[in-house]
Amino acid sequence: MKDLSPVSGIHSVRAALKFGTEGVAELWLEHTRRDRRLTEVAELARQAGVKVRQVDRDELDGGAEGANHQGVLAWVRVPAARSEQDLAALLDGLQEPPFLLLLDEVQDPHNLGACLRTAEAVGVQAVIAPRDNAVGLTPVVCKVASGAAETLPYFQVTNLVRVMEDLKERGVWLTGTAGEADIDLYAADLTGPLGLVMGSEGQGLRRLTRERCDRLVRLPMRGQVESLNVSVAAGVCLYEALRQRR
């Protein structure tokens, strides 16, 4: 379906229906499968006014493109990224300390999708990225994010460095990741207003982005590899922040 992205699996489809029904265009159910959870998902869709289609397994397999669909697939509209003005409004309206993820020129849609999924899971309020030299919200991103792209605000900004300066003026403590940093991730205080800043797949943080960080931390490495994939590194950092903030 043009301009639509498949979200498959009971948990992911339920999340898409619960938190972003205006973006769900249609729900597909495997007509031969009898499962109480599928019945509940179908009822959620009907309550939200989403069209429900009964299809055969082959059609579901084709739509899910190899993913484990568990007999259900939602077609969701690819959301638009939000603007800097929207970011200011979101920050003004927060009732708790900001918990943000900043991605500096992440270009792989699978990495962005995985970052969005983890960020949504730990309670990040917004993901911020530059408009240039970075992937936007694409069908692949939405598919990998498994519903998080529809529920977690994603902001693409003209000048990431300027936004970082604005965040610092708001009292947000910007913590970047770098292999040569002196501070171990697990020794850093990640409570309070926090912006985690992750670099790109190739070069990591750009110089100006790095210089705007209040501190740099490193992930402890005990093996032979020199670095982790950005989505994996983001997951490690986000969950350590969640552990400290609980």
Residue 17 confidence (pLDDT): 82
Helix/strand/coil for 129:
strand
Taking the whole predicted model, whether its pTM rises above 0.85 is answered as no
Residue 2 confidence (pLDDT): 61
Domain boundary among 77, 93, 112: 77
Domain boundary among 12, 45, 77: 77
Residue 164 confidence (pLDDT): 98
Same domain membership, residue 91 and residue 30: no
Helix/strand/coil for 95:
coil
Same domain membership, residue 124 and residue 18: no
Same domain membership, residue 67 and residue 181: no
Same domain membership, residue 221 and residue 171: yes
Residue 19 confidence (pLDDT): 64
Same domain membership, residue 56 and residue 117: no
**What is the number of domains present in the chain?**
2
219 a known binding residue? yes
Half-sphere exposure of 72 (CA within 13 A, CB side): 25
Domain that holds residue 21: 4-77
- Which value, in Å, is the radius of gyration of the alpha carbons in the chain? 19
Which CATH number covers residue 62? 3.30.1330.30
Q: Which single residue is written with the structure tokens 């077609």?
A: 75
Cα(17)–Cα(21) distance, integer angstroms: 5
Residue 20 confidence (pLDDT): 63
228 a known binding residue? yes
Same domain membership, residue 88 and residue 24: no
Residue 156 confidence (pLDDT): 95
199 a known binding residue? yes
Average confidence (pLDDT) per 10 residues, the chain, 246 residues: 78 78 85 89 90 92 85 87 92 96 95 96 97 88 83 94 97 94 95 96 90 95 82 97 96
Same domain membership, residue 213 and residue 154: yes
| Sign of the dihedral through C-alpha 98, 125, 183, 214 | negative
Same domain membership, residue 119 and residue 59: no
Domain boundary among 77, 111, 126: 77
Instruction: Give yes or no for a contact between 241 and 190, defined as CB atoms under 8 angstroms apart.
Output: yes
Residue 133 confidence (pLDDT): 92
Same domain membership, residue 155 and residue 89: yes
Q: Convert the pLDDT of each residue in 217-242 to its tens digit.
A: 999 888 877 778 999 999 999 999 99
